[in-house]
Structure 1
Amino acid sequence: MLSVWRNLKNSRRVICGAVRPGCSSPAGVSALWSKQTPSAGSDFDLRRPCINPSRKCSGRPYNVPPSAEFVARVSGIPTMAKLPYQETAEGLDAAFVGVPIDTGTSNRPGARFGPRQIRVESALLRAYNSGTRAAPYESLMVADIGDVNVNVYDLKDTCKRIREAYRKILATGCIPLTMGGDHTIAYPILQAVAERHGPVGLVHVDAHADTSDVVLGEKIGHGTPFRRCVEEGLLDCKRVVQIGLRGTGYSPDAYEWSRAQGFRVVQAEECWFKSLAPLMAEVRHQMGSGPVYLSFDIDALDPGFAPGTGTPEIAGLTPIQGVEIIRGCRGLNLVGCDLVEVSPPYDTTGNTALTGANLLFEMMCVLPKTKYY
């Protein structure tokens, strides 16, 4: 057993921190760790902050999910990536937060269950990004702060609740990583974001522009958020890009309004059969050093990869291209991100939620303070 621990110490930097006071870890984790960990004060102790300089860990006690090498993935209460849960964003660099609504959905409901299923599937995530060598848990204090207490009977009241919740999150200096919920939520979130940062740039990945004015007599819904954001001056329109737009439309040019505002529109046809890394180099130049919000609708991906969504459109992006877009945001001044429209009832395999969980992990890995090896 000692040789296993010695080899682990020399070859990996998986768990470097202790759970921060005030946070709670998934049920049973502490007991399992105490049984499998050498005594406190020994050379390798998972119950205290890593302070061994040779392992390049910060002395700060970051929250680190338990490794599946020692704690079964199926154990414990599901939190995002099996991170500790805490009630507020106080003291956090970034926080995973759920907004479980589908009241603004125009077609298939079920996105209210998205945050819950994303958390369940996120148990497969590990501590490091093998593709980029990002080490978020060595550089960011992150936790799951639960869900906004939405009103599933009143969409306008829900928007008010979301806006107020995000004002509190942003007031702490924390960057929210949001699990939706339908795309309506981007509107009140961006209201709170713009209050703190001023008009922001937007990287919007979606099959739909979500710039409708009125749908069935209503001005608030998952097809209207970015029209409302423009009207209220929440966006820096010269720093907005919409990627992956496609499908049938209500007019010959469904994206005319977006272009008229100064948005860069990248239709899905422009993305077929190619890497999107060159595109993202152009996007980084467009965004500059100002604050940027990343909004990723899972229906940007082809429904062959992500069928669990409310308004699927064929001939979409691949998961590889989705990852390229997010990784291409590295270096931007990201002030918030969301992953929306996961509707578990339409994908009984859980693969859509699993994809969403991985994309959220990629978002965390491109936040400004993230360490890379």
Structure 2
Amino acid sequence: MKPTENERPVFPFTSIVGQEEMKLALLLNVIDPKIGGVMIMGDRGTGKSTTVRALVDLLPEIQVVANDPFNSDPHDPQLMSQEVRAMIQSQKEVPVTTTKITMVDLPLGATEDRVCGTIDLEKALTEGVKAFEPGLLAKANRGILYVDEVNLLDDHLVDVLLDSAASGWNTVEREGISISHPARFILIGSGNPEEGELRPQLLDRFGMHAQVGTVKDAESRVKIVEQRARFEEDPKSFRDAYQASQDQLSQQIRDARERLGSVQISYDLRLKISQVCAELDVDGLRGDIVTHRAAKALASLKSRQEVTPQDILTVIPLCLRHRLRKDPLESIDSGLLVQEKFSQVFGYSFQ
């Protein structure tokens, strides 16, 4: 029998060597999806896709309405389809089941209809019903939407994805017929900078920007190669060896999601974050907002109720580096520029 998608062995997240920046950005977005997603840029063969797919293994189960194509939340009106809302309003019984948070892969050649869904005009006109065929955005609701080689995707399609990710809704309009459904997902894009950059206004819409590079340390490279060989030889025993650490991290994520609402960030720290953004000449307020959210998510991940300057130092390069204006004469990495400005404003050394 052909194995289903769920039966394919996935490389354990906790066994991935290095790439701490990428792993942290992914974990923080899972704890607080409102951070706004991650753009992962780096060399080929650095484990970008492997790490994203490994993340799904750690995610908790969620309650969904049974047989609903939008993974509707049975309790939150903002995350349920119009049909489910109508059932609740008419006090009909809504069947509920639990499922793992899903990850949807967006293929490079996908059309807008495939992504957003289509309306069957013939059925709508002849039968008078809104016949909607859901797309990938419907499937990704309350899950993760992963776009590999996002920098090669048509700009118009990237715009559609970012609009849905920001608003939490997808609207399809054809010949005067309009259908909306919830589309709240964590958008993760990856790409190789050698194959072209995203336009700055699109890049700015991603909450965080993680950079990954090829591991240079010989011992680490050997360890990565050995682990990959062991996994391919016997995936089950390799996964079993990491089951305890996987379970521990999964529980840590669940606890952090529950704790997040009570985490505090002092006015003084918020003021300094905004001062860093202003002095770096960051356009708009997205940088300030994302840095606040990411710092609180990190404090929550570390089982703390209060954000520290160290939390901000850890996340601020990820939140701001892609929002800085490009200076062709500047040779220093944008992440280091952010750290230097942080050090000046906070009076806090990162050495």
Indicate the TM-score class for this superposition, using the shorter chain for normalisation: under 0.3
Who wins on radius of gyration, i.e. which is larger?
2
TM-score (norm 2): 0.24
TM-score (norm 1): 0.23
- Could you say which structure has the greater relative contact order, defined with CA pairs below 8 angstroms and 6 or more residues apart? 2
